[in-house]
């Protein structure tokens, strides 16, 4: 595991200066392949922040192996929390609430984080706050900027691709979602197909910088259609066929082929995101009027500079404020869970979610119709 350790306070984190203000909330994130924790305060200060990445542990498999992820969380979470508290010069008893990702995610990893957080809460007499992982991404921008509700959110990550209207701490209206695969999954599968390794997003972005997108024309699923839903399954299939054609012509996928395919893929995916967002902006304005509202992008794919730039241009052209978390807070981290927990705690000081169990599926908008099925574990996100 790789220890990406950050201890940021006051202006060093781009936040308010001076002594931090209570409440203080500890947040734990173990939903996938990062073991992470952080402490935040009510005035948007990150008092301590640690992330242990499991990239090296999963790289040889080309993706996350749930059993390995859960074992790594078990092995490292206690030591990480001890180091975190030392970084902040604080103890668990100094916290006002203990928060943990309770879903959606890999159930083995969720159990490790939730049970650890509940144990700390029980031992210190502090409330436990269950946090939806997606709400962590959705609210992170409010940790670093003075963003008020409502705002329009594009949430793009390895497992999720949604457009949401965010009206409050626990108030999300889904305008669109993927009907098959998420954008981040499409990046990972493209990288794996082209031999670029894991994680796929940064690898595809790097290759695309040296590629010619105009060389290949890929399908743009649902572009020009009504609504805000996404589809990326056909795009992945088209990338595979391109690679097969390259092999048929000269036995291998050359570096030039690979870079050109990545550039075409990234541009095409960007076209899909922009088209769907244009429809969403129209829907959002029908409800909230023509004022200048925030357009927020969050999630791991938001770290992609090309896509980020295109969405920022769209915001400017649509008379909206573009906003996104800093790159270090786009991928899974403990600060986003601590902040979402703090937001929920402040909104309801009597909150205590000790009876909440880990939920592998937990949509933000539980009233929305599931697009990819419903099973024993609940509606998919």
pLDDT for residue 221 is more than 70:
yes
Q: Are 182 and 160 in contact (CB under 8 A)?
A: yes
The confidence score (pLDDT) of residue 19 equals 78
Share of the chain above pLDDT 70, in %: 89
Burial class (CB in 10 A: 0-12, 13-18, 19+), 352: middle
The pLDDT tens digits for 292-336 are 999 999 988 888 999 999 999 999 999 999 999 998 899 889 999
Q: DSSP letter at 12?
A: G
The confidence score (pLDDT) of residue 302 equals 85
The confidence score (pLDDT) of residue 56 equals 61
Instruction: In the chain, list all ranges with CATH 3.30.420.40.
Output: 2-140+329-379, 150-324
The confidence score (pLDDT) of residue 11 equals 33
Note the CATH architecture for domain 2-140+329-379: 2-Layer Sandwich (3.30)
Distance in angstroms (rounded) separating the CA atoms of residues 34 and 113: 11
Mean of pLDDT values over 25-54 = 93
pLDDT category of residue 71 using cuts at 50, 70 and 90: confident
Longest alpha-carbon distance in the chain? 67
Distance in angstroms (rounded) separating the CA atoms of residues 282 and 152: 11
The confidence score (pLDDT) of residue 8 equals 40
What residues does 128 pair with on adjacent strands?
98
pLDDT category of residue 86 using cuts at 50, 70 and 90: very high
Most confident by average pLDDT, 46-60, 61-75, 132-146: 132-146
Q: Using DSSP, state whether 37 is helix, strand or coil.
A: strand
The pLDDT tens digits for 263-288 are 999 999 999 999 999 999 999 999 99
Share of the chain above pLDDT 90, in %: 74
CA–chain centroid gap for 345, Å, is 21
pLDDT for residue 124 is more than 80:
yes
pTM for this structure? 0.89
The confidence score (pLDDT) of residue 32 equals 84
Superfamily name and number for 150-324: ATPase, nucleotide binding domain (3.30.420.40)
Q: Are 339 and 139 in contact (CB under 8 A)?
A: yes
CA nearest neighbour of 204 among 271, 261, 123: 261
Most confident by average pLDDT, 58-67, 136-145, 181-190, 370-379: 136-145
Q: Using DSSP, state whether 46 is helix, strand or coil.
A: strand
């Amino acid at each position: 595991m790789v220890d990406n350790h950050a201890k940021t306070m006051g202006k060093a984190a781009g936040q308010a200066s001076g002594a931090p203000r209570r409440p203080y909330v500890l947040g734990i994130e173990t939903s996938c392949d990062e073991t992470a924790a952080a402490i935040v305060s009510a005035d948007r200060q990150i008092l301590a922040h640690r992330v242990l990445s499991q990239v090296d542990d999963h790289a040889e498999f080309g993706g996350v192996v749930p059993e390995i992820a859960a074992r790594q969380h078990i092995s490292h979470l206690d030591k990480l929390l001890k180091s975190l508290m030392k970084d902040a010069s604080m103890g668990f008893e100094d916290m006002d609430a203990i928060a943990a990702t309770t879903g959606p995610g890999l159930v083995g990893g969720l159990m490790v984080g939730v049970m650890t957080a509940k144990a700390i809460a029980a031992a210190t007499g502090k409330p436990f706050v269950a946090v939806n992982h997606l709400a962590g991404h959705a609210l992170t921008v409010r940790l670093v900027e003075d963003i008020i509700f409502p705002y329009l959110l594009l949430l793009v990550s390895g497992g999720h691709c949604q457009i949401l209207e965010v009206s409050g701490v626990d108030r999300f209206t889904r305008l669109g979602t993927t009907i098959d695969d998420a954008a981040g999954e499409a990046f990972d599968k493209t990288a794996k197909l082209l031999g670029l390794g894991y994680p796929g997003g940064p690898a595809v972005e790097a290759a695309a910088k040296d590629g010619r997108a105009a060389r290949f024309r890929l399908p743009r699923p649902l572009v020009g259609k009504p609504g805000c839903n996404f589809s990326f399954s056909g795009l992945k299939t088209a990338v595979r066929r391109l690679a097969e054609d390259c092999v048929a012509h000269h036995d291998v996928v050359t570096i030039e082929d690979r870079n050109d395919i990545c550039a075409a893929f990234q541009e095409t995916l960007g076209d899909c995101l922009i088209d769907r967002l244009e429809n969403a902006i129209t829907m959002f304005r029908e409800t909230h009027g023509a004022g200048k509202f925030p357009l927020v992008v969050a999630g791991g794919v938001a770290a992609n500079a090309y896509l980020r730039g295109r969405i920022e241009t769209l915001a400017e052209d649509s008379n909206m404020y573009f906003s996104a978390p800093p790159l270090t807070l786009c991928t899974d981290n403990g600060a986003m869970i601590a902040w979402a927990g703090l937001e929920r705690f402040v909104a309801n000081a009597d909150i205590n979610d000790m009876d909440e169990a880990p939920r592998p599926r937990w949509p933000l908008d539980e009233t929305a119709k599931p697009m990819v099925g419903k099973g024993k574990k609940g509606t998919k996100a």
